[in-house]
Amino acid sequence: MSRGFVREGDQEEPVVIPQRAVLPDNVINYVTVNGMRELREELERLENDFAGVSVEDEKERRREQTLALGKIKLLQERMNAARLIHLEDQPKDEIRFGATVSFKNLSLKTNQVLTITGVDEANVAMQKIAFTTPIVRAITGAKVGDVIHFKLGANRSILSIEAIDYGNLV
C-alpha cells in the first residue's frame, strides 16, 4: 500500500533497541566463567520476557516483542563471539584478564582495587573494570612491585602494584 493511503495515527514508531556495552572493532570478547553465567542468565530473562508479553493492545505487544527479540539477538551475537578465559590458566604473578589488582596511586596517595572483567560484566560501582579501559591496558603485564606511569588526558598518575589475585571471579 502506498504511504499516501496510511493515516498518521496508524504509523508505528520504530522500536529502538539499546546497544550493549561497547566492544571495540577487532577486539576479542573475553569473558570470565562468571561473566558467561551472567550472560546466560540474562538470555533466560529476556526469553522469559518475550514469552510473557501479555499486553492487550496489539501494537504495544508487537513493540514489546520486537524489543525483546532485538535484545536477544544482540546478546546471542555477543555470546557467540565470546572467548571464555579460565582464571586458573592465567599467570598468577602477572596482571592479566580476570585478575583482582590492589595498587597504590602514589600521585593521589590512595589505595585502589579493581577486577579486570569482560565488557558485559564491567561495573564500576563494584570495582569491575573492562579489559578495554585505558587503566587496565596500562597495568596489564605488570607484576607485584612494578611502578606504572599512567596518563589519561591531562592527568598523570604513578601506580605501584601491591597484589594480584585470581580468586574473585571463579
Cell digits of residue 45: 530473562
The answer to the question of residue 158 being in a domain is: yes
* Dihedrals phi, psi of 88, to nearest 5 degrees: -65, -15
pLDDT digits (tens, 9 = 90+) for 110-156: 999 999 999 999 999 999 999 999 999 999 999 999 999 999 888 89
The answer to the question of residue 3 being in a domain is: no
Which residue, of 64, 84, 104, is where some domain finishes?
A: 84
Query: Are 71 and 92 in the same domain?
Result: no
Confidence of residue 44 (pLDDT cuts 50, 70, 90): very high
Cβ-count burial 16-53 (b if 16+ within 10 Å, e if not): eeeeeeebeeeeebbbbebbbebbeebbeebeeebeee
Question: Residue 156 is part of a domain; what is its CATH number?
Answer: 3.10.50.30
Strand stretches in the chain, DSSP E: 29-31, 82-84, 100-105, 110-117, 128-130, 147-152, 155-165
Number of domains in the chain: 2
The answer to the question of residue 105 being in a domain is: yes
Whole-number pLDDT of residue 100: 96
Domain with 74 in it: 27-84
Which residue, of 84, 118, 153, is where some domain finishes?
A: 84
The answer to the question of residue 20 being in a domain is: no
Confidence of residue 106 (pLDDT cuts 50, 70, 90): very high
Whole-number pLDDT of residue 1: 47
Q: How many helices (H) and strands (E) does the chain have?
A: 3, 7
